Structure 1
Amino acid sequence: MSTSAAPSVVIVSPSLAQANNGNWRTAYRWSRFLGGHCRTRIVTEWTGEPCDLLIALHARRSAASLARHAAETPDAPRVLVLTGTDLYRDLPFDESARRSIQLASRLVVLQEAAVGQLPEDRRPHCVVIYQSAPRLAPAPTPRQRLRVVQVGHLRDEKDPLTFMLAAQRLGDRSDIRFEQIGEALDEMQRIAAQACAQTQPNYRWLGGMAHHLVRQRMRRAQVLVNSSRMEGGAQVIVEAVQCGTAVLASRVDGNVGMLGAGYDGYFELGDDVALARLIERCRDEPTFLAHLRGQGQQRSSLFEPDEERRHVLHLVHSLLSPFSR
């Protein structure tokens, strides 16, 4: 334990602010929650600097930091926050990811369905902490058209092609507009988005945007689509719910763990036909759109910043004692 009155916490995030992705936003929120209680730093790798607690995001990409911390300070606590690629891609096959979950004092997952992906012996060491976002007042619903948005960098894990194909299927619906937000991290995804924008007047690819602008786009949309192949706990779902935007989501564990098993806005992974039908229902059946919004609001208490902050502080307090309050 350091001699300073406030414990020191290092947060290892594989991505920093310039990446503008979920890992960074989680690290940044947690550092703000801990402000006034701990001295915090966000780094891409732990290189041996003294700290009372290490919090690492991503089992595989932060494996070296966790291993070094365990070797050099075996009695110090370590927290591992598990991502979607950890849970649904890396853990079954990657030895470094499996090693990371054994080295962690506590494991954190971001939605309730994720606990079942862990080895049974590690589940008692796991806590669920939902991500959060401040509430925004919903924008007025336009009568002329439905605005549908997808948010996330264009890469295979997010399956942006399903969104584009749904836009093409609804190309004759001038009363439905599609907006895709996110940088292309794959050249084939870039080509596909550019081609869709050139041939489909109802589709726009807006590229990367600052987070506050993305939230306003999301707020003004009536529907957010999350078509991901894997999710640890999608921040975009949190942000959509917190501004009253209905969500249509692929039926994968990460999305079901966020929205609940009884949610009525799921489509099967990669099924652009089913997605297009749900989007049409949102436009043609106002009661269905209102129903999805209502179901989202039933989950909104999980996504409040005060709730996430309470869980983060409780986690850190349980690992550091005495704890500067």
Structure 2
Amino acid sequence: MEILIITPAAPGSKAGNRATAERWQGLLEQAGHRVSVMTEYQGEPCDLFLALHAWRSHGAIRAFQSAWPAKPLIVALTGTDIYRHQYEYPEQTLYSMQAADALIGLHAKVGEDIPGRFQEKLVTLFQSAEKPEEPGTNTGAGGKGSVNSGPNTFEVCVIGHLRDEKDSLRAAQAARLLPPDSRIRVSCAGKPHDAHWKNLANQEMRENPRFRWLGELEKAGVNRLMAESQVLVMSSIMEGGANAVSEACRAGLPVIASDIPGNVGLLGEDYAGYYPVGDTRALARVLERAEKDAGFLEQLREQVGRLAARFTPENELKALEQALSLALTRCSGRNA
């Protein structure tokens, strides 16, 4: 098929929506489809239209519906769609959900958090990640590709753009509460959403010797940081299904995560590494336990290792093909 993918993130952006669109483009092309990714829709013809973000892409969705009402439409739901925009901008967001022949949710709990009438057209897709370097290879400064970890450092990484939804400095704030003998250092990699977040990150570095902000890294730099880390913290207050969690599981890197649906929907109800979202002291306790309790850290490592198969490219392509099939079937039904 000729497939158009619309995403609000521009070419060259490291935003999650852009990475998802380009990864899906590659997977669908491997399956024999012809796929274009664009940020603006001008009525171009296609066999199927796939929009990332129900709210941000609602203008393109309306334009596609107007130009090609008999063509199939898939809408992929982001965390802000599910946990913010369907309440703040219900007309646009719910229009996109209603118009879609199939919806893609990026974690297993999405069905509980959208209107019940849409659940029959929901496909759960776990975003994939290639298996990077082995974690826990922190050998100190000066090594090839090193991010300058010290030999006695217990490295904790936070990966993602710095913004409110990610609660990006929660791990840094938790590190301030650790006892003096803790070896934990928090390394944050990501682009600030705005000048306010840039100032917050720089201020935290000045005031907190356990924290460093690395800025926005290329993929190879992110992989090195994960390889040199003992734990990844996913501290979001809302999340559609963070690809950093997929990457950590594929790497066997233990995750400490806020207990929001977007994390529980990836890691499972029985995962041992949660803390109450926004609770700095609770996060500090879990970090200290990960550092000092080898059995607990190994438990987390075993759990993410068992989850790794969930996040393979093969499984992601199967879910994409399931969404395509559902969209085609439902589209055919409404056109009959």
**Which category describes the TM-score, using the shorter chain as reference length?**
over 0.9
> Distance between the aligned counterparts of 2:11 and 2:221, measured in 1?
15
3-state SS, counterpart of residue 71 of structure 2: coil
> Distance between the aligned counterparts of 2:205 and 2:179, measured in 1?
11
Q: 1:141: Cα distance to partner?
A: 4.9
Note if contact 2:123-2:322 (Cα within 8 Å) is conserved in structure 1: no
Please name the residue that 2:74 is paired with: 79
**1:22 and 2:16 are equivalent in the alignment:** yes
- Cα RMSD over matched residues? 1.6
* TM-score calculated relative to the size of structure 1: 0.93
Q: Which residue of 25, 34, 42 maps to 1:31?
A: 25
Q: How does 1:306-321 map to 2 (within 5 A)?
A: 306-319=314-327
Shift of the 317–42 alpha-carbon distance from structure 1 to 2, 3 Å rule, reads same
3-state SS, counterpart of residue 209 of structure 1: coil
Please name the residue that 2:119 is paired with: 123
Please name the residue that 1:93 is paired with: 88
**1:231 and 2:226 are equivalent in the alignment:** no
Q: 1:243: Cα distance to partner?
A: 0.7
**1:185 and 2:180 are equivalent in the alignment:** no
> Distance between the aligned counterparts of 2:205 and 2:294, measured in 1?
28
3-state SS, counterpart of residue 251 of structure 2: coil
Note if contact 1:33-1:313 (Cα within 8 Å) is conserved in structure 2: no
Deviations 1:132-162 (A, max 9, x none): 0011242345573310000111111111131
Q: Percent identity between the aligned chains? A: 36
Amino acid paired to 2:22: Y
Amino acid paired to 2:42: T
Please name the residue that 2:146 is paired with: none
Amino acid paired to 1:229: I
3-state SS, counterpart of residue 213 of structure 2: strand
The 10-residue stretch of structure 1 (166-175 or 307-316) with the greater mean CA deviation from structure 2: 166-175
3-state SS, counterpart of residue 286 of structure 2: helix
Aligned length: 315
Q: 1:21: Cα distance to partner?
A: 1.5
Note if contact 2:123-2:319 (Cα within 8 Å) is conserved in structure 1: no
Q: 1:300: Cα distance to partner?
A: 1.4
* TM-score calculated relative to the size of structure 2: 0.90
List gaps (5 residues or longer) in structure 1.
Answer: 1-6
Runs ≥4 residues deviating over 6 A? none
Please name the residue that 2:147 is paired with: none
Amino acid paired to 2:119: R
